[in-house]
Amino acid sequence: MRILVHYTHKQTLGHTTRTISLVKALCDRGAEVRVLQGGMPQPFVRFPENCIVRDIPRPFDTRGSFQADKEPVYAYQRAQFILRTAIDFKPHVMITEFFPFGRHKYLPELLPALQHLRKKKTRIMASIGYPLIMELESLNKSPLTLMKAMFHLFSKFLIHTPPELETQYIKDSFQSGILSQSYAEIMERLKKKIVYTGYIFPEKIIAGGAELPVNKKTNDIVISRGGGSVYPKLIAAAIKAQRHLDKNISTIIACGPATSVKEKNLFHSLLDPNDTGRVFLADHINNLHDYLKTCAVSVNLCGYNTSVQLMRYGTPSIIIPYHNVLSRIQTNDQIARARLMRERFSSTILDCRTLTGPSLARAIKEKINQPRPRPAPAEWFNGAATAAQAILENKAN
């Protein structure tokens, strides 16, 4: 069975990791998978050896467009590349990642291939990490018609959460009652096409980073900011915070592989000789998952990958959810998931705007003295296998 996957990222890790995990589950079940990677190359990630990954030319989305979307450039060339691949590969199924719930600016490059495949009766499905529908503020305008047309192209929406879990938290996080109602109506309209797969537990995809000794202690504090696209203030505050903690506590800081040279210089300038032996600072750490499992406290953004690991391991956590001040919708998946983490896993929520080294240290001390939360049920984390099964059920509509 031939499966064509289109995904992109903004130099983050969540979209990449979910895609790799899904592709691995498909390859393990005998599928022939071809991946079209639409963002900047991420040479530190590892796809399964038995799939083909091709970079779409002229990427335009970078960490710089994490807050404000960049307008696509060279859309025609990118569209022709995708269309030619679809024609040559003749997939039984095409999967888009996050689109059409988000990534709407990728419509020009995707539409020619999607229309061609629809005529060939190819199944078109979407892999959706979290059920956030972007651009809801435009629902009373012309984009609503376009959104409905995009949804119509798809036979299934594979949402990688437990049934209705994050959907409810996202609905409740809208500050506007009108937007909350519109969101609920769209999700109800799509209900027959939605498959809640459970969370996709992240594969060990990173290579070329630091490799720490296997950790069996529980007095480490782990600081991470995912791919490293936003919130350098978290890393700076973490360096200062560890000086207010017990000297027997080690602080492991993963700045993220997208960390810029300017940021690296800043972080290293904040270290002093007394930090030697207490602070481990790296762009990315290959076996960070080992430390998230056993650490005393994890301090992180509320991204998908890290949150899923914290839920599964029952790791005490302090979370600083990303907030896009430029967005007209005053919520996102991290804001909604933070409420889930607080209510179900006793996570502490801090605001990056008021974060300081001493305030972070106080929160860490309080969290260390609290009971560890109970891990989530194992059945929450079958996302890759369930999604692969749904994709491989049959070859045509």
pLDDT tens, position by position, 128-162: 999 998 876 555 454 556 677 889 999 999 999 99
User: 246 and 178, same structural domain?
Assistant: no
Q: How far apart are CA 13 and CA 283, in angstroms?
A: 13
User: 141 and 32, same structural domain?
Assistant: yes
Q: Say if 327 falls within a structural domain.
A: yes
pLDDT at 200 over 70: yes
22-51 residues labelled b (16+ CB within 10 A) or e (exposed): bbbbbbeeebbbbbbbbbbebebbebbeeb
User: 387 and 351, same structural domain?
Assistant: no
Contacts of residue 87, defined as CB under 8 A and 6 or more positions apart, other chains included, come to 116
User: 184 and 47, same structural domain?
Assistant: yes
Q: How far apart are CA 349 and CA 333, in angstroms?
A: 14
User: 136 and 253, same structural domain?
Assistant: no
Q: Say if 320 falls within a structural domain.
A: yes
Supply the range of the domain harboring residue 369: 220-379
Q: Which of these, 255, 331, 356, 343, lies nearest to 300 by C-alpha position? A: 255
User: 77 and 40, same structural domain?
Assistant: yes
pLDDT tens, position by position, 36-63: 999 998 888 899 999 999 999 998 887 7
pLDDT at 291 over 70: yes
User: 48 and 193, same structural domain?
Assistant: yes
Using pLDDT thresholds of 50, 70 and 90, give the confidence band for residue 104. confident
Q: Say if 215 falls within a structural domain.
A: no
Q: Which CATH number do you get for residue 227? A: 3.40.50.2000
The mean predicted confidence, pLDDT, of the chain is 91
Contacts of residue 119, defined as CB under 8 A and 6 or more positions apart, other chains included, come to none
Mean pLDDT of 11-22: 92
User: 140 and 50, same structural domain?
Assistant: yes
Using pLDDT thresholds of 50, 70 and 90, give the confidence band for residue 218. confident
Q: How far apart are CA 135 and CA 81, in angstroms?
A: 27
User: 38 and 80, same structural domain?
Assistant: yes
- Number of domains present in the structure of the chain: 2
User: 333 and 236, same structural domain?
Assistant: yes
User: 169 and 23, same structural domain?
Assistant: yes
Q: Say if 212 falls within a structural domain.
A: no
Comparing 386 with 328, the larger pLDDT belongs to 386
Q: Say if 203 falls within a structural domain.
A: no
Check residue 68 and give its pLDDT: 61
User: 338 and 189, same structural domain?
Assistant: no
pLDDT at 109 over 90: yes
Q: Say if 146 falls within a structural domain.
A: yes
Q: For every residue of the chain, which 3-state class applies, written as one string?
A: CEEEEEECCCCCCHHHHHHHHHHHHHHHCCCEEEEEECCCCCCCECCCCCCEEEECCCCCCCHHHCCCCCCCCCHHHHHHHHHHHHHHHCCCEEEEECCCCCCHHHHHHHHHHHHHHHHCCCEEEEEECCCCCCCHHHCCCCHHHHHHHHHHCCCEEEECCCCCHHHHHHHHHCCCHHHHHHHHHHHHHCHHHEEECCCCCCCCCECCCECCCCCCCCCEEEEECCCCCCCHHHHHHHHHHHHHCCCCCEEEEECCCCCCHHHHHHHHHHCCHHHCCCEEEECCECCHHHHHHHCCEEEECCCHHHHHHHHHHCCCEEECCCCCCCCCCCCCHHHHHHHHHHHHHCCEECCHHHCCHHHHHHHHHHHHCCCCCCCCCHHHHCHHHHHHHHHCCCCCC
